[in-house]
Amino acid sequence: MEKEKEEIKRDLERVEEYGITLPQTIFISSKEVEVSTGLIIAARYADKIRRAIFAIFGKVLPTEIILRDVAEFNKKLYDEIVKRKIDKLDVIRIRFKVSYDAENKKLEFKDYEITRYIEEGKLNEECKKYKEMIENIKKLLSS
């Protein structure tokens, strides 16, 4: 519990920084925002999203609502990351839309997209493997 309070305190301290360094926040309407995390390692996505949402909604929504709804959204993202076999050190970008439903007192996340970026060296290695496989198949078919 103490660690969680410490993390929340650190998140709130970094809100101002994220307000400046998060130019990928676009207001679609007065009630909906499109957010992009920028390039991050997959292991840090939950912190980045929580801090971004604090930067956007922290002055107008109770902390409890933000923490509850971001945690729920992060679980959904985690399931997708695991399903797609994204390694915790892979570089990713997450984009999503978020709005606040005042009637239900809930943040609503939708239209999320996770993009994985592959290092050029790794991509070249994979291409080389597939080219060799194709050549071997061609040889088998021609004999």
Share of residues in the chain with pLDDT > 70 (%): 88
Burial class (CB in 10 A: 0-12, 13-18, 19+), 88: exposed
d(CA 79, CA 85): 10
Q: For 2-118, which CATH class?
A: alpha beta
- Please write the tens of the pLDDT for every residue from 59-113: 899 999 999 999 999 999 999 999 999 999 999 999 999 999 999 999 999 999 9
Where are the chain's structural domains? Answer: 2-118
pTM for the whole structure? 0.71
CA 42 to chain centre: 8
15: pLDDT confidence band, cut at 50, 70 and 90?
low
Provide the mean pLDDT of the chain.
88
pLDDT of residue 4: 77
pLDDT of residue 13: 75
pLDDT of residue 26: 66
pLDDT of residue 73: 97
